[in-house]
Chain A
Amino acid sequence: MKLKSTAALIGSIIGASLLAATPAHAQNVKIGLLSGITGPIAAMAPPMIAASQLAVAHVNEQGGIGKGGKLEVVVGDSACNPQNATDAATKAVNIDRAVGIVGPACSGAVLAAANSVAVPAGALLITASGTSPQITSINDKDLVFRTVPSDDYQGRALARTLKGRDITKVAVAFLNNDYGKGLAEAFKAEFESLGGTIAGYSGHEGSKASYRSDLAELAKGGADTLVIFDYGDGTGLTILRQALENNFFKTFIGADGMKSDAVIRELGADNLGTFFTSSPVGEASSSLESFNKAFTAAGQSPDAIFTTTSYDAAFLMALAIEKAGGDNAKLAESLRAVSSAPGEPIMAGEWAKAKKLIAEGKDIDYKGAAGDHEFDKNGDVPGTYAFFKVSGGTYESLGEMK
């Protein structure tokens, strides 16, 4: 009995390894696509993966990689924790021989995957949603990049915008994780230095059923405006609903995490007349438009969180691979070359054009759906933001934030 089950187990392992050992097509290039598919951000992961896969589809439809090779994707589940993230990343890099990793999703997962897998193994890592300032300081041999700006930039930009709109007294509710807290701290520092008043400031754990008492506490300070740093398809939705239903505040401001279609879908656009969000956008907004169009055509909502950054991360990865021309040691250098000025601008989806220019040896500059992606020396992007309101069942830009 004991022997039999052990033997069966070993047999299945060997079987699986043999399956895994099927060689990939020679010219094809693999990348790992890691996201928190199961676990706390399960609701956010599918659109992010779909966006990255759209970029891969664009690459493959328009000529693929190198001479007729395809870009292949291995989807891995980082489950939003370091244990599973390192497992998925190690698997992608070693077993699937992925040259680079797009993801993982949560900052803690990014830190672990970068520190213990990508950097030591020399794989390029581009995260589309790891917003923690800690990622900036990874000793990364220039291998860790992100297409999403550090929370710091967005929190500060949002503070300046509110001040510019003559909102001087706000309450802040933030999700107690790296995303919410990072934004809240940056926002608070900037808003107060501009002379604004924070009349309530409190963090909350996710997934509780009621936040009415939290909101009542926040409302005590007398602010009319509530700034919510949370996710619109998670706790942020609960908070916004309960704040609206109980008339705790008049105006609601969110960051990119709140700019979710779930908010409009579940609460109704009529109720969201005083709801505004910020979100990173590219300067060349035609890039964003073409992404929105393609993503909608693929049956997805472009308003879902981190989809633009996910698209850009995968597209940039592909550009870097193409530019490096098979020399994996040059991936990071190539990434910087294809993303930064000067160069012929490339918009989201323009793979054929980019491929041609790279083949001709010309310099290109990718201007993505989520921003220009001029990486600084730490692999961070400063990000440009627009301020959005809800209009006609979708989000409409009110112009760029400074």
Chain B
Amino acid sequence: MELIGLANYAIFMGILIGIYALLALGLNIQWGLTGLFNAGIAGFFAVGAYASAIITSPHVAGRVGGFELPIVVGWMGAIVFAGLIAWPIGKVCLRFRSDYLAIATIGVAEIIRLVIKSEDWLTGSSRGITGIPRPFGELDYVASQLAYLGLVIAAVAVVYFLLERQLKSPWGRMMRAIRDNEAAAAAMGKQIEARRLQAFIFGAAVMGLAGALFVHFNRSITPEAIDPMIATFLIWIMLILGGSGNNRGAILGAIVIWLLWSVSEMITDRLPTDVALQAKYIRIFVVGLALQLVLRFRPEGILPEEQARQTAR
């Protein structure tokens, strides 16, 4: 066991944390700032992932694509397509409030997942798409991982600073006003519907970017990656734990959850090997319990929103 191994693993975890942090930031725009209960994160993640995969991967008979465009175009495409798909969904679903919106978006995400799983011509169905290029992929292992980590950090940083700037702008104040007191905001002549749709589309576009970063990292994408547990609920846990309404909280939540996931395995791995299987199930229990403990002692999240909320929703 060398330090270099730990460092390598830390780099890997940094990449995944970065990707999940983007998802949490996207959700923070929708929930933390605007109060939109989007439970269909997996859908936008998937659209971004597949859009970038189709744009950049080589040709395969019977499937659209084979454009082999540069990776940057793929990432742009991911952002644009995720945003585009969010537009009609938002247009239709944002009229529902809270839990209704949640169930409607879960439904949309499930439909997207089933389409991806079934349509050969578009997504390669259950076999997925392979041969996706990875930036700096030709370097050797550690260098390539490090370079990718750099890219992911850059993406997170750009999104973070853009968001922070928006937040402090009149736009951000208006969003919070709409979230906290819709009637008052409407009375002041704010266009609530349009603003909420904007936030929904922005959030979805960020989620799409996360999807793109994910596929190029793995050089492949299959429908298993967009299971609601790991691509929707997990991100909700991250945002709530980290502190919804706070962008740094969203990022911290992603860090804490992946550490928890990883550390819990290191703990259960200490158990004797003949209970190795049991240990993996117990690990899920440990993760569930840890979540309860944080909710018990830090219900407002590790980094709460700076400006205190007047009312609990």
Query: By the criterion of a CB under 8 Å from any partner CB, how many residues of chain A are at the interface?
Result: 69
In the complex, chain B residues whose CB is within 8 Å of the CB of A132: 127
The answer to whether B16 and A75 touch across the interface, beta carbons within 8 angstroms, is no
The answer to whether A108 and B224 touch across the interface, beta carbons within 8 angstroms, is yes
The answer to whether B6 and A181 touch across the interface, beta carbons within 8 angstroms, is no
The answer to whether A83 and B141 touch (CB under 8 A), given A77-B265, A94-B5, A181-B125, is: no
Residues of B in contact with A (beta carbons under 8 Å apart): 1-2, 5-6, 8-9, 12-13, 16, 114, 117-118, 125-128, 130-131, 134, 137, 140-141, 144-145, 214, 217-225, 227, 230, 256, 259, 261-263, 265-267, 269-270, 273, 276-277, 279-281, 283-284, 294, 297-298, 302
The answer to whether A87 and B16 touch (CB under 8 A), given A2-B302, A97-B2, A109-B224, is: yes
At the interface, is chain B mostly helix, strand, loop or mixed? helix
A67-93 contact mask (Cβ, 8 Å, vs B): 1 or 0: 000000111110111111011101101
The answer to whether B126 and A91 touch across the interface, beta carbons within 8 angstroms, is no
A49: which of B6, B265, B276 is its contact (CB, 8 Å)? B276
Give 9 new A-B contacts, CB below 8 A, not counting A80-B224, A107-B127, A180-B126: A13-B259, A38-B280, A83-B16, A83-B230, A87-B12, A94-B8, A95-B5, A111-B222, A181-B125
The answer to whether A97 and B218 touch across the interface, beta carbons within 8 angstroms, is no
- For residue A229, give the distance in angstroms from its CB to the closest CB of chain B: 12
The answer to whether A16 and B280 touch across the interface, beta carbons within 8 angstroms, is no
The answer to whether A20 and B1 touch across the interface, beta carbons within 8 angstroms, is yes
In the complex, chain B residues whose CB is within 8 Å of the CB of A139: 131
A1-33 contact mask (Cβ, 8 Å, vs B): 1 or 0: 110011001001100110111111000000000
- For residue B45, give the distance in angstroms from its CB to the closest CB of chain A: 11
The answer to whether A107 and B1 touch across the interface, beta carbons within 8 angstroms, is no
The answer to whether A120 and B297 touch (CB under 8 A), given A177-B126, A181-B125, is: no
The answer to whether A178 and B218 touch (CB under 8 A), given A108-B225, A121-B141, is: no
For the A-B complex, the count of residue pairs with Cβ-Cβ distances under 8 Å equals 171
The answer to whether B218 and A116 touch across the interface, beta carbons within 8 angstroms, is yes
In the complex, chain A residues whose CB is within 8 Å of the CB of B221: 82
When A and B form their complex, which 3 residue pairs have the shortest distance between CB atoms, in order from nearest?
A108-B222, A115-B219, A111-B220
The answer to whether B256 and A9 touch across the interface, beta carbons within 8 angstroms, is yes
In the complex, chain B residues whose CB is within 8 Å of the CB of A120: 137, 140-141, 144-145
The answer to whether A81 and B1 touch (CB under 8 A), given A86-B16, A87-B261, A205-B114, is: no
In the complex, chain B residues whose CB is within 8 Å of the CB of A75: 269, 273, 276-277, 279-280
